[in-house]
């Protein structure tokens, strides 16, 4: 299987919503709707000052997503990093790492010094992934004032300092 990563196009809106909501609700039981999230109903508009990428297989099926939202001049938020179940732990594709490196390269080009993200308590594999990639667990109170995070009990906040 060959997975390509490309900049989001609105033709993938429904596939993105289906992937994200499926993982949030069916796997993690968060009970969220697209309307509960500021970016999900209109990805193109929300990420117009940042970037959103999709990972597609050879049949144009969505296998993963990742987005970056500017917060301040030097800070940005990593958002909506989701992988189809079949891609998780797939060492041949290494899709999570490829998506993250795509975003990290963009962040460096834009001159960001910090990346922030939040992830729900049940997403243990995601916590390990972020920690392996140099993110530090931070208190919720330390987030930039422009950072909007969901009101989820036990939410984990991470920060990566970019060199």
Which residues of the chain fall short of a pLDDT of 70?
none
Give residue 149's pLDDT: 81
| Contacts of the segment 23-27: beta carbons below 8 A, 24+ positions apart | 23/82, 24/120, 27/122
- Output the six-digit token pair for 66: 């990742």
Sheet holding 51-56, edge to edge: 4-7, 51-56, 62-70, 75-83, 114-119, 156-161, 136-138
CA distance 59 to 140: 40
Give residue 34's pLDDT: 92
Per DSSP bridges, beta strands 51-56 and 75-83 are unpaired
CA triple 133-135-139, angle to 5 deg: 165
pTM of the model: 0.94
Give residue 85's pLDDT: 93
Give residue 163's pLDDT: 81
Give residue 137's pLDDT: 96
Contacts of 163 (CB under 8 A, 6+ apart): none
pLDDT digits (tens, 9 = 90+) for 8-25: 999 999 999 999 999 999
Give residue 79's pLDDT: 96
């Amino acid at each position: 299987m060959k997975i390509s990563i490309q900049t989001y196009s609105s033709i993938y809106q429904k596939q993105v919503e289906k992937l994200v909501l499926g993982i949030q609700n069916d796997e993690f039981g968060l009970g969220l709707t697209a309307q509960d999230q500021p970016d999900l109903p209109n990805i193109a508009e929300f990420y117009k000052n940042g970037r959103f990428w999709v990972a597609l297989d050879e049949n144009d099926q969505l296998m993963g997503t990742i987005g970056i939202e500017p917060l301040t001049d030097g800070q940005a938020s990593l958002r909506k990093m989701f992988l189809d179940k079949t891609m998780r732990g797939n060492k041949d594709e290494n899709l999570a790492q490829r998506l993250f490196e795509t975003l990290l390269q963009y962040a460096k080009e834009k001159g960001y010094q910090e990346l922030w993200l939040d992830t729900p308590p049940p997403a243990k594999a995601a916590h390990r992934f972020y920690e392996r990639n140099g993110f530090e667990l931070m208190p919720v109170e330390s987030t930039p004032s422009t950072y909007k995070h969901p009101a989820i009990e036990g939410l984990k906040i991470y920060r990566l300092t970019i060199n």
